[in-house]
């Protein structure tokens, strides 16, 4: 198994490495903390807001005995505000630390950073591109619930054209777990992009597309709900308003919950806006807060695999 270095996208993972991430994450969930990264420094460099990704990576590093340096709003508080390029920032910051966790507002940001970094880069979300570490924690959550990731009907719902988490999750499922079926549920303006559908076809993974959940809820094992990404519609307010109006149909409320099959789960990468009603949270089907907690264990596993010698 090659050593895990930078984590840029979902497609880079071979099956052995993916299974190892899930295995080490399970160990991390059991031990909760250890000292394997003592003396190592992680930089979190976030050009877009984050609660879960930044804080779980920082907590993960500290739980492994490492140190963290960070700028939480790099657009405003790094030299980006003075006009410095991503490439120059990365050249400099990589001289201060052992790994950089980067969230960038434009697709391809992590790849650009990797080309100029002397240390591994971990993609913590690049615009509407990918969010591979989120998809890994999604897979960990699915595996914990179902054991085998096989024979499942998985709906991905919401603003799919801009959703980087559903893109990364689709790549992982197609390459490693094609024996499942995906249902893309979204308003027509924000359908899943063609590149993902082509990738699913290449791995002969079954997929379907619809604009609502009609007739589907009773057969789904997983409803993976997502929010409308307001920040990606800055230049098109009319489309944003249309998508918001159509998204009302997709809201998971008590009525929809009652139509779901026994043993099914609801996931969401969070943050949640209105697309899952608060009244759903206490139902045993609601797994999104557990999913967010799993992020800590998966990110501990990833930091160990990138930084520790084993």
* 213-272 residues near ligand CP, rule: CB under 6 A: 269-271
Smallest distance from ligand CP to CB 110, Å: 14
Q: In whole angstroms, give the CA distance from residue 113 to residue 91.
A: 8
In this complex, which beta carbon is closest to ligand CP, that of residue 71 or of residue 181? 71
Task: Look at the chain and count its residues.
Answer: 310
User: Is there binding between residue 53 and ligand CP (CB under 6 A)?
Assistant: yes
> What are residue 210's DSSP bridge partners?
185
Q: Which is nearer to ligand CP, 43 or 134 (by Cβ)?
A: 134
Q: Which of 22, 42, 52, 113 binds ligand CP (CB under 6 A)?
A: 52
151: number of Cβ within 10 Å: 11
Three-state DSSP class for residue 166:
helix
Question: How far, in Å, CA of 61 to CA of 191, rounded?
Answer: 36
Active site residue 103: yes
| 225 SS3 class | strand
- Determine the size of the site formed for ligand CP (CB under 6 A): 10
CB 141, CB 172: distance < 8 Å: no
Catalytic residue among 53, 71, 133, 226: 53
What's the CA gap between 18 and 205, in Å, rounded? Answer: 19
Catalytic-labelled residue, pool 40, 80, 103, 153: 103
Exposed e or buried b for every residue in 203-218, given b needs 16+ CB within 10 A? eebebeeeeebeebbe
Considering 40, 63, 112, 131, which one is annotated as catalytic? 131
Residue 52 falls in the annotated catalytic set: yes
CB of 247 to ligand CP, least distance (A): 18
Q: Which of 40, 43, 52, 226 is catalytic?
A: 52
Nearer to ligand CP, 52 or 232 (CB): 52
Identify whether the C-beta of residue 130 lies closer than 8 Å to the C-beta of residue 109. Answer: no
CB nearer ligand CP, residue 120 or residue 132: 132
266-305 positions binding ligand CP, by CB under 6 A: 269-271
Q: What is the nearest approach in angstroms of ligand CP to the Cβ of residue 164?
A: 8
CB 168 within 8 A of CB 134: yes
Indicate if 164 belongs to the active site.
Answer: no
> Any contact of residue 134 with ligand CP (CB under 6 A)?
yes
Interactions with ligand CP, residue window 97-126 (CB under 6 A): 125
Cis peptide leading into residue 261 (ω within 30°): no
Residue numbers 153-192 binding ligand CP by CB under 6 A: none
Q: Provide CB contacts within 8 A for 245, sequence distance 6+.
A: none
- If the CB atoms of residues 60 and 205 are measured against ligand CP, the closer one turns out to be 60
Q: By CB under 6 A, is residue 43 in contact with ligand CP?
A: no
Residues with catalytic function: 52-53, 82, 103, 131
> Which chain residues interact with ligand CP by CB under 6 A?
50-53, 125, 131, 134, 269-271
């Amino acid at each position: 198994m090659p050593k895990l270095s930078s984590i840029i996208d979902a497609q880079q993972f071979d099956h052995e490495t993916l299974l190892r991430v899930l295995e080490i994450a399970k160990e991390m969930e059991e031990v909760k903390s250890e000292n394997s990264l003592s003396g190592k420094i992680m930089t979190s460099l976030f050009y877009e807001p984050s609660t879960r990704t930044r804080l779980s990576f920082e907590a993960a590093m500290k739980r492994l005995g490492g140190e963290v340096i960070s700028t939480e709003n790099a657009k405003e508080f790094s030299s980006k505000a003075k006009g410095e390029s991503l490439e120059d920032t990365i050249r400099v910051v990589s001289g201060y630390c052992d790994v950089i966790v980067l969230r960038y507002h434009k697709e391809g940001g992590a790849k650009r950073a990797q080309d100029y970094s002397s240390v591994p880069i971990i993609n913590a979300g690049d615009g509407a591109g990918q969010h591979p570490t989120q998809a890994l924690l999604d897979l960990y959550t699915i595996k914990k619930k179902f054991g085998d990731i096989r024979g499942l009907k998985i709906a991905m719902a919401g603003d799919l054209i801009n959703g980087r988490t559903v893109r990364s999750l689709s790549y992982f499922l197609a390459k490693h777990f094609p024996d499942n079926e995906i249902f893309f549920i979204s308003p027509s303006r924000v359908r899943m992009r063609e590149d993902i559908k082509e990738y699913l076809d290449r791995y002969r993974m079954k997929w379907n597309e619809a604009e609502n959940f009609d007739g589907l809820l009773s057969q789904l094992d997983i409803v993976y709900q997502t929010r409308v990404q307001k920040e990606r519609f800055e230049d098109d307010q009319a489309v944003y308003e249309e998508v918001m109006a159509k998204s009302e149909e997709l809201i998971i409320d008590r009525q929809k919950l009652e139509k779901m099959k026994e043993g099914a789960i609801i996931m969401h990468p969070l943050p949640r806006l209105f697309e899952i009603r608060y009244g759903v949270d206490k139902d045993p089907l609601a797994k999104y807060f557990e999913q967010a907690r799993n992020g800590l264990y998966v990110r501990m596993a990833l930091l160990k695999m990138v930084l520790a010698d084993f």
